[in-house]
Amino acid sequence: MKLVMLGAPGAGKGTQAKMIAAKYGIPHISTGDIFRANIKNGTELGEKAKQYMDQGLLVPDELTLALIMNRFAQDDCANGYVLDGFPRTIAQAEALTASLKEQGDALDYAIDVDVPDENIVERMGGRRACVNCGGTYHVLFNPPQKSGICDLCGGELSIRKDDLPETVKKRLTVYHEQTQPLIDYYNAEGILKTVDGTVDVNEVFAAITEILG
């Protein structure tokens, strides 16, 4: 079972990817994890990626794809994988399709966790983290007992720059420009499945498992 997860930042696709991986006994593969593992292990591809990352540059598509295909070749991917965070663009999707095809392989499904922008802004804009212990809260869904104060250590809660509404809106703009076209791409490939990401996490997961069987 070879899957790719789609969805806007904050849609919850990473959470769903972890739950799918646990249920079906397949690895959850994210590009960030691949980069870190290869850099830590001092691989040739990892060293190349590190050169870009150290300069604050994006790792080129060709190198990212080489790292991903290398990851797919490992034993724990024998029964499939859940790919999260790649592809982000049509060019990346086409390159991934072509690389898999060369090996006589293909993705089974692209799962789109669909959440409207206004829900994303509310979700991410309401997140708070403790400056001391890192405890996390949400003003609506998981509020602290005392406003602005961590239940665990009494530290001050703050909003991360990434979660500020204006930052979230900018990230969503980039998503709609670059990544949302992937929905049309995988729909044309005949493997797109869409689930409602606005409901409870477990309901989203139930909808996904119904698709996967």
Going from the C-alpha of 36 to that of each of 29, 31, 53, the distances in angstroms are 12, 9, 11
Question: What is the predicted pLDDT for the residue at 56?
Answer: 84
Spell out, as residue ranges, where the chain has pLDDT lower than 50. none
Question: What is the predicted pLDDT for the residue at 156?
Answer: 96
Q: How many CA atoms lie within 13 A of 1 on its CB side?
A: 17
Domains, the chain, ranges and CATH?
2-26+79-116+175-212 (3.40.50.300)
The DSSP call for residue 96 is H
Question: What is the predicted pLDDT for the residue at 34?
Answer: 92
Question: What is the predicted pLDDT for the residue at 50?
Answer: 92
Question: What is the predicted pLDDT for the residue at 179?
Answer: 87
Question: What is the predicted pLDDT for the residue at 100?
Answer: 97
CA neighbor of 91 nearest in space, from 101, 82, 99? 99
Pairing mode, strands 127-130 and 136-138: antiparallel
Catalytic sites, residue numbers: 13, 88, 127, 160, 171
Question: What is the predicted pLDDT for the residue at 162?
Answer: 84
